[in-house]
Amino acid sequence: MEPIHLKEKIKFNKEHFIPNILYASPKVKMPLICMEPGQEIPPHEGHSVGIFYVKEGKGVFTLDNKKIDMEKDMIVIAPEGSSRGMKCLERMVVLAISVG
């Protein structure tokens, strides 16, 4: 597999967020999520462990009804079965890794 240069994969859309799937296998999924201010992913049940690394920007992550401020270079880990979602406050790029 070739190396992935994240900077080349960043793409924004003013209408809706863009999840760019960088890698997928039966047990691992790795989307790069690019969001404009005001865009959100509503809270939903995650069927796997979710690891969310904020590469750029700011937002609010919801983990089982708890609000967590997200900013550059921060990682949020959502356990399997937890409810998770996020809202963008400042143009945001998040690398998500779903395992399980």
pLDDT at 14 over 90: yes
pLDDT at 1: 81
Q: What is the pTM of this model?
A: 0.93
Tell me the pLDDT band of 18, cut-offs 50, 70 and 90.
confident
CA–CA gap between residue 66 and residue 77 (Å, rounded): 13
What kind of architecture, by CATH, is found in domain 32-99? Answer: Sandwich (2.60)
Domain assignments of the chain as residue spans, ordered by start:
32-99
pLDDT tens-digit profile of 32-82?
A: 999 999 999 999 999 999 999 999 999 999 999 999 999 999 999 999 999
Q: Please calculate the CA angle 39-16-38 and round it to the nearest 5 degrees.
A: 15
pLDDT at 25 over 90: yes
